Each structure stands twice: as structure tokens, then as C-alpha cells.
Amino acid sequence: MKKVDASDRNVRIPSEKGSQQNDLRGKLYDTAFARIDKGLADGRYFEVIALADSIITDRVQSLAQDIIRDEPEQYRWMSVGGAIEVLFREVKTRNITLPTEIRKPLTDVHQVWSQKRNIASHAFVVVTPKNLDVGVEERLENVKVAAEEGAKLARLITNEIDKFRRDLFA
């Protein structure tokens, strides 16, 4: 994952207090978390997974972006796995210690939840010799579990990264 000019159209617009992008982000986050809550209540687990993934990715990229804020090049928007790898590389390069409250859930997302998300989102209808005995009900239960875990991780990661960003960049 290489950096591009910060003006690239696929680079996340940085946070700025009182800005149009922060106002929009606030509304989008409120909407996303409300839809996650309603989606869990209504059994719309695929939607919950997609929203949780989007939220986690944005929070991770926001922190990485804050860390390299003054550089003329930034990273393009990327998947959650790539974003976590970039963040871990940037904090290591800059000798920044991420608190366990951030590192552990991000490691869980990267190593465990993203696999559940992939199976739910990309392989729900795929039948292989490995999953031939996994029927519809079990697959639906796996989607539900991935959604519930994703919702919890999205809220936890949002809270912890936002707290860390406030402390680090206040």
C-alpha cells in the first residue's frame, strides 16, 4: 500500500473541527449506528456487517491519517484489513504505542472477525467440499454471529480510537 498525493480523489478527507466533512461524518455515523441497532433487532445481519465494516475502516484510517497528517502524501481508502496493516506499520515506524484497548480489538478484527465477515458476505451461497455439510440455518446463524460481533467491535473501536485521537492530538 503506497501513498499518493493528498489531493487524490480516493484519499479520505481529513477531519477538521466545524468542517463540512465532519458535519457529514457525524450524520453518517449517527445513521449507521441507528441502522446497526435496528438491523440487529430486525434480523438484517448482512446490512449490519457492511455498516460495521465501513465504520471500523473509517476509524482506523482516521487515526492513521492523523498520525501522518502533515505529510504531502496519504493513503487511499482501502479495505479494513489493509487499513489495519497500514495503521500498525505507521505506529511502529513512528514509535507510537497503541493502547491495548485499541490494538486488541483491531487484531481481533484483522485475524478473526474479517474472516467471519468474508464468509458471510462473500461465501454465503458458495458450496465447497469444506462446507458441504453447512446448511442454510447454520449459515444464517454464522451471519448473525458475525453481525453481532461486528456491531460490538464497531462501537468499541469507534469509542477507543476517538478517545485516543483526542488525547494524542488535543
In this prediction, residue 10 carries a pLDDT of: 94
**Per-residue pLDDT band at 80 (split at 50, 70, 90):** very high
% pLDDT > 70, the chain:
99
Task: Read off the pLDDT of each residue in 28-41 and give the average, rounded to a whole number.
Answer: 98
CB 147, CB 45: distance < 8 Å: yes
The C-alpha cell 467440499 sits at 129
Looking at the predicted structure, is the pLDDT value of residue 138 above 80? yes
Q: What percentage of residues in the chain have a pLDDT greater than 90?
A: 91
pLDDT at 170: 65
- Which residues are CB-neighbours of 85 under 8 A, at least 6 positions away? 1, 110
The pLDDT of 116-128, averaged and rounded, is 94
List the one residue out of 22, 47, 16, 10 whose CA is nearest residue 32.
Answer: 47
CA distance 77 to 100: 25
Mean pLDDT value across the chain: 95
Average pLDDT of span 39-51: 98
* Three-state secondary structure call for residue 74: strand
Q: Could you tell me if 62 and 161 are in contact, meaning their C-beta atoms sit under 8 angstroms apart?
A: yes
Residue 17 pLDDT grade (very low, low, confident, very high; cuts 50, 70, 90) = confident
